[in-house]
Amino acid sequence: MPKKYETPMLDELEKGPFPSFVTEMKKAAAKSDMAADALGQLERCFKDNRTHWKHGGIVGVRGYGGGVIGRYSDLPEEFPDVAHFHTVRINSIAGLFYKSSFLKEMCDIWDKYGSGLTNFHGSTGDLVLLGTKTDTLESIFAEFSSRGWDLGGSGSAMRTPSCCVGPARCEWANIDTLDITYATTQEFQDEMHRPAFPYKFKFKTVGCAVDCNAAIARADCSIIGTWKGKIEINQDEVANYAKSGMNIQTEIVNLCPSKCMSYDGKTLSINDDDCVRCMHCISRMTKALKPTGEKGASILIGSKAPFVIGATLSWVIVPFMKMEPPYTEFFDLVRKMWEWWDEHGKNRERIGELIIRRGMREFLEYIGVDPMPQQVKEPRRDPFYFWKEEDLAK
């Protein structure tokens, strides 16, 4: 008979119209002591207004430096079944497509070796398995790897790359986000499984500037699909949007960030030279507007959540790069960025923080990218590029 704890504070989180993680944990707790203790300890954390989870340490599978995150209870006598409650990250498939047969197998493995609790997906993008003991880790790894799956990234390493659904389900994808994610995962296996960086490094790839995966805010290296040509306009469809009640002036033209659009009540015009490819107009008028011409990606660097300094968004370093297999130009650029970061980065310093500390000029010089207007992140703020004597002589 599994344990049962009184959880008056957690019960409050079951109220309201939304699905509750507490309800799901209670279902798991009905057949797993580990899930029951996780619930009991969580109630205790709420009651004490502090966490009773400890993090880190010496856990993993042989040869790998990531994929398992050590978690321990600081109340092991009270909650013995969560004395160890490690998290396992499984490298998710690009676009998060799974066969139902895999999901069934995965659940069977996890019921056998773990708490039965999962997290689809963690904010890392991985398939997250919550709660197991140290002595089952090798068996879990063997079960998954024998089925063709691998652990994800953790620690001071490249993290599991993630992407939007891209061309699999979206006609607006300018790049094959799924293939780029898969190729990046394969190319940098060592960097993902054998931590050698000053801190974490994340890739996120999206097919267009709508950025369904929030790459610009969450990835050290954001790959955002874009295009070089004009936006093709179907004026009949523009008229249909107007007829169906859309206020094109207010909802489209006035919200264009570069003010490159105009509308006279009949005809919509775009000055493509001033367009910054933000996708606002296209995503609102999908039938009327379409990008044309060469497709590729903008490469941005440096976003992260608050840590040493506050949250930052990525900023453009390469405005346009063709992103076609075997992605040699992109991988070479990434290796140069890592070399510079490895040389100068302090422990637990993200690459974006290092760029802020040492300067964009030094970074661009090292990676061999010329300064370009598109790299100016915040006009009228301090310039990051200072001319040298030899530049002035040119």
Partner 1 sequence: MEKEEIKQKIYDLVVKSTGKKKLKSSDIQKQISSDTGCSRDEVKDALKDLMDEGKLIYTYFGGSYVELPPNQ
b/e 64-96 (16+ beta carbons within 10 angstroms → b): bbbbbbbbbbebeeebebbbbbbbbbbbbbbbe
Per rule CB under 8 A, count of chain residues that contact partner 1: 25
Q: Is 69 in the site for partner 1 (CB under 8 A)?
A: yes
Strand partners, 226: 296
Write down the least CB distance from residue 113 to partner 1, Å: 21
Tell me which residues in 93-152 interact with partner 1 (CB under 8 A).
Answer: none
| Complex with partner 1: residue 60 or 95, whichever CB lies closer | 60
Q: Is 66 in the site for partner 1 (CB under 8 A)?
A: yes
Strand partners, 295: 227
Tell me which residues in 161-200 interact with partner 1 (CB under 8 A).
Answer: 190, 194-199
Tell me which residues in 21-40 interact with partner 1 (CB under 8 A).
Answer: none
The C-alpha atoms of residue 133 and residue 97 are separated, in whole angstroms, by 28
b/e 286-296 (16+ beta carbons within 10 angstroms → b): eebbbbeeebb
Q: Is 60 in the site for partner 1 (CB under 8 A)?
A: yes
Strands 71-73 and 114-120, sheet pairing: unpaired
Write down the least CB distance from residue 189 to partner 1, Å: 11
Write down the least CB distance from residue 329 to partner 1, Å: 21
The C-alpha atoms of residue 302 and residue 356 are separated, in whole angstroms, by 9
Are the C-beta atoms of residues 68 and 88 closer than 8 Å to each other? Answer: yes
Q: Site for partner 1 (CB under 8 A): which residue of 2, 14, 24, 65? A: 65
The C-alpha atoms of residue 175 and residue 93 are separated, in whole angstroms, by 17
Write down the least CB distance from residue 30 to partner 1, Å: 33
Are the C-beta atoms of residues 10 and 22 closer than 8 Å to each other? Answer: yes
Write down the least CB distance from residue 345 to partner 1, Å: 9
The token pair that represents 119 in the structure block: 């997290």
CA distances from 180 to 19, 217, 284 (A): 34, 19, 27
Q: Of the listed pieces 55-63, 78-86, 100-108, 329-337, which binds partner 1 according to CB under 8 A?
A: 55-63
Q: Site for partner 1 (CB under 8 A): which residue of 40, 125, 155, 352? A: 155
Write down the least CB distance from residue 158 to partner 1, Å: 12
- Choose among 86, 138, 129: nearest CA to 108: 129
Q: Site for partner 1 (CB under 8 A): which residue of 32, 35, 64, 82? A: 64
Q: Site for partner 1 (CB under 8 A): which residue of 40, 70, 95, 167? A: 70
| Complex with partner 1: residue 199 or 363, whichever CB lies closer | 199
Write down the least CB distance from residue 354 to partner 1, Å: 14
Q: Is 348 in the site for partner 1 (CB under 8 A)?
A: yes
Q: Of the listed pieces 273-281, 342-350, 354-362, 371-379, which binds partner 1 according to CB under 8 A?
A: 342-350
DSSP conformational letter for 59: -
Strands 289-291 and 71-73, sheet pairing: unpaired
Q: How many CB atoms lie within 10 A of CB 352?
A: 21
Write down the least CB distance from residue 115 to partner 1, Å: 21
The C-alpha atoms of residue 88 and residue 349 are separated, in whole angstroms, by 25
Q: Of the listed pieces 56-64, 144-152, 231-239, 295-303, which binds partner 1 according to CB under 8 A?
A: 56-64
Which stretches of the chain bind partner 1, using CB under 8 A? 56-58, 60, 62-66, 69-70, 154-157, 190, 194-199, 342, 347-348
